[in-house]
Amino acid sequence: MEPSRDISRLIEIMVRLRDPQSGCPWDIEQDFASIKPYTIEEAYEVADAIERNDMGDLCEELGDLLLQVVFHARMAEEAGLFSFGDVVNAVTSKMIRRHPHVFARSDADTPDKVKVQWDEIKRQEKAERAERRARLGGEETFKAGHLGAVPRAFPALMEALKLQEQAAKVGFDWSDAEPILDKIEEEIAEFRTALSRGDKKQISDELGDVIFAMANIGRHVGTDPENALRGTNTKFRRRFAHIEKGLEARGISLNDATLDEMEALWQDAKKTEHP
């Protein structure tokens, strides 16, 4: 089988991989649950390629993410649920429906009006979806209410941000960033108390409150907390690599180095970044 620029070839490859008689043993034994972590991982690798502005990697990672879509669709088709064509039909229908200002008549002629229109169409879609799920007996109770628009499947930090944004739409929000700083200090004090008591459940709860408040102030100052944390992660990688190189130059392994030696190199790395 030869590679191709046509999506049908990718679908053919997946059919072959999943063939019970002649397919790949690993691919054959997979199901939706076992593939889910890979789907999430591929989405993050797409984001990483974008952050690094590596267009070669981006092309490859988008292909890997597309493969996940084809994989899930093939398993669904085998179970008689839906096919890849149904997935395409669903998303094209959605895009046409959500862009009446492009594909039909609409007075949404500015970005702000388009956003209002988009939100209203999504609201109608979610209401219809909730009604359909309720008829099928599959509507979870946590989907109800104003915050039901925020999927629980999001990573926790993203979910926190989306919950805050959704609450802010109805006025449940801080007026500015300054009071949030007081809230953060309050949550840190409660975290200290939990630590002193040694209550693991309370420690976990209070730590979550601190992180939630930190995400909130990021939103208020126009800094996405996910991107901010990713930047810090990159900085940590860079500084730790400096520690490794410094120790290697002295003939010292990481396992044999003292904390003081590592801390000195860490501070040296900071000086290199900010002379």
Question: Domain segments of the chain: what residues?
Answer: 1-98, 174-223, 227-273
- Output the pLDDT for position 120: 83
Would the pLDDT of 139 be above 60? no
Q: What is the pLDDT of residue 29?
A: 96
- pLDDT, residue 149, reads 76
Query: 275: which 2 tokens?
Result: 């002379």
Contact 217, 181 (CB under 8 A): yes
pLDDT tens per residue across span 15-42 = 999 999 999 999 999 999 999 989 999 9
Between 249 and 104, name the one with better pLDDT: 249
Q: What is the mean pLDDT of residues 187-204?
A: 96
* Pairwise CA distance, residues 212 & 274, whole Å: 30
Is the domain spanning 1-98 CATH 3.40.630.30? The answer is no
* Mean per-residue pLDDT over the chain, rounded: 90
Which residues, including other chains, have CB under 8 Å from residue 16's CB and lie 6 or more apart? 1, 22, 23
pLDDT of residue 153: 74
Please tell me the predicted confidence (pLDDT) of residue 137: 65
pLDDT band at 275 (very low <50, low <70, confident <90, very high): low
Enumerate the H helices of 198-256 as residue ranges.
Answer: 200-220, 225-249
Per the listing, tokens 């093939």 go with 74
CA gap 213, 208 in Å, rounded: 9
Low-confidence winner among 8-22, 32-46, 147-161, 251-265 (lowest mean pLDDT): 147-161
Q: SS3 for 141? A: helix
Show the tokens assigned to 235. 């900085």
Predicted local distance difference test score (pLDDT) of residue 141: 47
Taking the CA atoms of 241, 246, 251 and 257 in sequence, report the sign of the dihedral they define: negative
Q: Is the pTM of this model over 0.75?
A: no
pLDDT digits (tens, 9 = 90+) for 49-76: 998 899 999 999 999 999 999 999 999 9
